[in-house]
Amino acid sequence: MNYISTRGRTPPMGFQDAVLTGLAPDGGLLIPTDIPRVEDRLDAWSRLSYQDITFEILRLFVDLPDGDLRHLIERSYMAFRHPEIAPAWPVGPVHILELFHGPTLAFKDIALQFLSNFFEYILKRRDARLNILGATSGDTGSAAIHGVRGRERINIFIMHPRGRVAPLQERQMTAVLDSNVFNIAVEGTFDDCQRIMKTLFSDLEFKRRHALGAVNSVNWARVLVQIVYYFSAGLYVMQTTGAREVQFAVPTGNFGDVLAGYYAWRMGMPIRRLILATNENDILARFFESGVYSLGRVVPTLSPSMDIQVASNFERYLYYKGGGNPERLTALMKDFAATGSLSIPCGAGGRVDELFIPGVGTSADTLATIRRYDREYGYLLDPHTAVGVHVAEQHLDREAPTICLATAHPAKFSQAIREATGREAHHEILDNLAHAPTRCATLPADVEAVKSFIEERAR
C-alpha cells in the first residue's frame, strides 16, 4: 500500500514514511492509494479479539513484517484497564462504546499508544530522532505525551489554547516533567494552535532540519488505528442483537474520529448512518446540512475538545467527495484559506451525503442528557459523549442499533458532571494529579514565537 497527498504534488510513499512525514510536503494530507473491501471477512472477524482485529485491518495498510506488527499491537494495549480494550454496553436506547480505558482516560489513547510504539520502532531501525509537534484541544496532547514520555529518541512539543481546555486535561499534560516533554500554552484558540502547526510543517526546511513529526489526526496512522473499533463494536452489536446493520453517533470536532467510521464504511462495514454530533461550534453540522463550510467564532462550551471551527481532517473527506481530484480539492482549500468559506452542491436528498446525519447538542442539552442517563440508567456520560447521545436519540432506528462513541471518562470533566448531577466524578489517575507539580511555557499565538521555542530545545 502506498500513500499519496490530497493535493497531488507529493510522490507516493510507503506507510513508514507516511507516518514519519505526518503532513504532506505540499500541504495536503496523506491517504492510501486504495481502500480494501473486506465484506467476505466480517464473519471470521466477529470471533476475534480486539488485538486480532487490529492486526487483520492494519496489515492491509502497513509495510511491516507480520511478527513486528503483532508485537507493536500487543505492546500498545498492555496499558489498557479493560481486557476488551473498547467494550460496548447497552444503555437505555443505545449502546455505549467505551473508548476511555487507556492511560489518559480518552479515546486518543487507542491510536496514540500504537503510534508512539511505532515511532520508537522505526527510529531505532533508522538510527534517527524525531521532534513531535502537536496541537490539542484537550485529550490528544495528554495521550501523545504519555505515549512518548522518557523515550530517548523523541522530543514532544504540544500546544494547547491557554485557559480553553478542562483543568484536568491541562494538568494531565503539564504534570509530565520528563526532559523530552514541552507544553506550550498559546494565547488564542485551538484553531490558532492548528494554524501554527500547519505553518511550521509547511516550512519544509525547518521541518527537515528539526525532523518534525505529527501526532495529530493529520497523521494517517491515527485515523487507521481508529477504524478498528468501528468493526469490533459494530460486529459485536450485530452479533448480539441479530441486526444486519448498525449506525454510529460520533461527537465531532476535528473530524478524525468520524472519518475513521467513513473509512470503515468504505471498506464494507455495514454502517447505515454516521450521526455527526457537534456542540455550538457547528461548522461541520452546518456543512452536512447545506453544503457550505463557513468559519464562525469559536464558542467555549462544556465539551471543550469539540470547540473547533477548522477541522483538520475534513480535507480527506473533501478529496473523496470531489471524486479524488487533487486539483479540485486544492482549489477548494485555496478558496477556504482566502475567504473562510467553501461550498459544494447538495445531493438529490437535499443533503451533502446521505451517510452523514448532522445534529447539534447545546450545553443545556449536554447537562440534561448527563442528568437523565445518570438518573434513569445509572450511567455517567462525559459531556462530549452526552452531545453524541443527545443527537443520536433523535435518529434511532429499530433495524440498525445505535452505537454512541464514549470518548472520555466523565471524571475528566468534573465541572460539567457536578453541574448536571450535583456530585463529583472521580478516577484515581486524576485524583493523584491534584497536587502534582507542573511545567508549561506561555507563548503568543505567533508562528515565530513557537518556532524560536522549538529551535532552542529541539534535538
**pLDDT given for residue 283 in this prediction:** 95
Q: What is the pLDDT of residues 258-290, one digit of tens each?
A: 999 999 999 999 999 999 999 999 999 999 999
Catalytic residue at 451? no
Separation of CA 311 from chain center:
11
Q: What is the pLDDT of residues 109-137, one digit of tens each?
A: 999 999 999 999 999 999 999 999 999 98
Stretch 407-436: mean pLDDT, rounded? 93
pTM, rounded to two decimals: 0.93
**pLDDT given for residue 403 in this prediction:** 98
On the question of pLDDT at 139 being above 90, the answer is: no
Task: Provide φ and ψ at 171, rounded to 5°.
Answer: -65, -35
- 354 burial class (0-12, 13-18, 19+ CB within 10 angstroms)? exposed
**pLDDT given for residue 192 in this prediction:** 94
Q: What is the pLDDT of residues 58-83, one digit of tens each?
A: 999 999 999 999 999 999 999 999 99
57-63: long-range pairs with CB below 8 Å, 24+: 57/224, 57/227, 57/228, 57/231, 58/224, 58/225, 58/228, 60/1, 60/36, 61/1, 61/15, 61/32, 61/224, 62/1, 62/15, 62/16, 63/1, 63/14, 63/15, 63/16
How far is residue 376's CA from residue 142's CA, in Å, rounded to a whole number? 32
How far is residue 242's CA from residue 231's CA, in Å, rounded to a whole number? 16
Q: How confident is the model at residue 217 (pLDDT cuts 50, 70, 90)?
A: confident
**pLDDT given for residue 180 in this prediction:** 96
On the question of pLDDT at 459 being above 80, the answer is: no
Q: Which of 108, 198, 207, 412 is catalytic?
A: 108
Domains of the chain in start order, with CATH, are 88-105+221-429 (3.40.50.1100)
Residue type for position 78: M
- Are 287 and 293 a contacting pair, CB within 8 Å? yes
On the question of pLDDT at 107 being above 90, the answer is: yes
What strand order describes the sheet that includes 88-91?
88-91, 94-98, 402-406, 246-251, 271-278, 356-360
List b or e across 232-243, with b for residues whose CB sees 16 or more CB atoms inside 10 angstroms.
bbbbbbbeeeeb
Pairing of strands 271-278, 246-251: parallel
Average pLDDT in the chain: 95
